[in-house]
Amino acid sequence: MPNEVLSLTRALVALPSITPDDAGCQALIAERLRAAGFQTHALRFGETDNLWATHGSGAPVLALVGHTDVVPTGPLERWSSPPFEPTERDGRLYGRGAADMKSAIAAMTLAAERFVAAHPDHPGTLAILYTSDEEGPAKDGIQAVMPWLADRGIRLDYALIGEPSSAERQGDRIRIGRRGSMHGYLTVKGIQGHVAYPDQARNPIHQFAPALTELVTTRVDEGNAHFPPTSFQIYEVKAGTGANNVIPGELLVNFNFRYGTASTEASLRAKVEEILHRHGIEFDLRTRVASAPFLTERTALIDAVVASCREHLGIDPVQDTGGGTSDGRFIAPTGAEVVELGPLNDSIHKVDEWVNVADLAPLERAYAGVIRHLLRSD
């Protein structure tokens, strides 16, 4: 029996959809979905393509969510085969986007097609929501689609996202939430002067050093049952005039907090300010939340995903909130239940990205199982 998930994955990987260019992925999928009886809407915001497709009507609304864009390839000479020429070797399919996340897109699309063919009069709405702006700024993707849906009175009840969630075996881990990400942009103010006359200047680097030690060693919270303690990382430091005899007048420090529901933007900012004030530092601080933390606690969607993993993947998945961010951060605030289930994430964003060929058909069956649990009336 031909592996249709493999065939569709290969077709998608062959399209060089480097973010935000969809490169025809969604047109290919939309044509299939219309043939299966879905109503499709191509939503173009800025340079981003989004696809909203539905079958059925009314509540509950279950959306299968994914992204057709991929990250850049990196140096082509480091790839064992061209990144947009899907290649099978030793039981793996290689190509950019194979794991993140065109295989999941293919599996979700086929699961949706087969479900509506078997259950044309299913209750509720089965929806497909794909974007070409997840790997980039993400402002014209799902973030832009959610208000478009709200303006039309459409509210998602469940969102199953095909991000590569698995660690060592497909289905061994699902994401039931994600940490938030808060950036900080700190300016430490000193007094510029000659290095030979430090008494006539105030070196912001020297002044900040003790505060830096405290910032990186302070545990701002203990986390909770669902999230680990908040982490703090400095990722950029700038100072100096370019001259070797000038004490700089300011120090620029950019940092990031990854945090769960035990902290908030206000509490994290207050902790940073408290430390800086205690060290007598004159400063300006600006913060920006790139994404708020979200958590789906034990719900119908989690139950359906766990049951389907047991039935079709033969595994009881760990439920966690690790990793970076995902488009779930734009969906969860609307009240939808959000869970991520996808292939192994070992090779994502790397040279020679791959997915196990043997995992593709079972992934489709797992997605189909979730749909049946939530939308089948019999």
User: Cα angle vertex 173, ends 170, 174, to 5°?
Assistant: 110
In degrees to the nearest 10, what's the CA dihedral of 302, 307, 309, 310?
Answer: 140
For the chain, the straight-line distance linking the first and the last C-alpha, in angstroms and rounded, comes to 28
Instruction: Give whole-number Cα distances, 60 to 124, 134, 148, 154, 156, in Å.
Output: 5, 25, 19, 11, 8
> Residue 58 CA to chain centroid, in angstroms?
28
CA distances 248 to 204, 259, 378, Å, are 7, 33, 72
Residue (of 5, 211, 13) closest to 97 by Cα position: 13
Residues involved in catalysis = 69, 134
Residue where the block lists tokens 């969604």? 26
Closest by CA to 342, choosing from 15, 133, 85, 111, is 111
Distances (CA, A) of 247 to 190, 200, 201, 212: 9, 10, 7, 19
Q: Which of 41, 323, 284, 61 is nearest to 185 (CA)?
A: 284
Structure tokens, 355: 């997915």
Task: Determine whether 287 is exposed, middle or buried from the number of CB atoms within 10 Å of its CB (0-12, 13-18, 19+).
Answer: middle
